[in-house]
Amino acid sequence: MTSSPSVASPGSDEAVGALAHRDTVVQVGDADRVVLLDLDDPAHPPRILTGPAAEIWTAVDGRRTLAEVTGVVAEAFDAPVDTVAGDVSAFVASLLEARLVEEVAR
């Protein structure tokens, strides 16, 4: 049995690794929409991200931690960090579980 990836809460001491797109994921898109294809999983249909999901994907840049990604998303939507933190954390966890994103050393 495999366990789900864990994601530290934004602002916690555990959030030390940066988040990065996996090298096997190709993307096309613009500011409003991102289409992803995992080359390691070609049987899976492309994933289309819009709105906050696209903003989160774009904020993941290989240098930012979960807390920093959350801050970028909060600023983009002019919302308090506490308001978006749970949704950002849950979506990042789903990206990690789908193996579209990985944690990397800073």
8-state DSSP, 5: P
Per-residue model confidence (pLDDT) at position 2: 41
Q: What is the mean pLDDT of residues 7-33?
A: 78
Residue 74 structural domain: 18-100
Tokens coding 66:
């979960």
In a domain? residue 11 = no
For residue 66, is it within any domain? yes
Residue in 42, 9, 11, 51 with CA at minimum distance from that of residue 24: 42
Contacts of 25 (CB under 8 A, 6+ apart): 36, 37, 38, 39, 100
Q: The tokens 């903003």 sit on which residue? A: 55
The CATH number for 63's domain is 1.10.10.1150
61-70: pLDDT as tens digits: 999 999 999 9
pLDDT score recorded for residue 7: 53
The string of pLDDT tens digits covering residues 25-40 is 999 998 789 999 999 9
Residue 81 lies in a domain: yes
Report the run of H or E that residue 48 belongs to, with start and end. strand 47-50
Q: How many domains in the chain?
A: 1
Q: Is residue 105 part of a domain?
A: no
Closest by CA position to 56, among listed 36, 40, 37, 41 = 36
- Residue 1 in any domain: the answer is no
The mean pLDDT of 101-105, rounded to a whole number, is 96
pTM of the model: 0.84
What is the predicted pLDDT for the residue at 45?
94
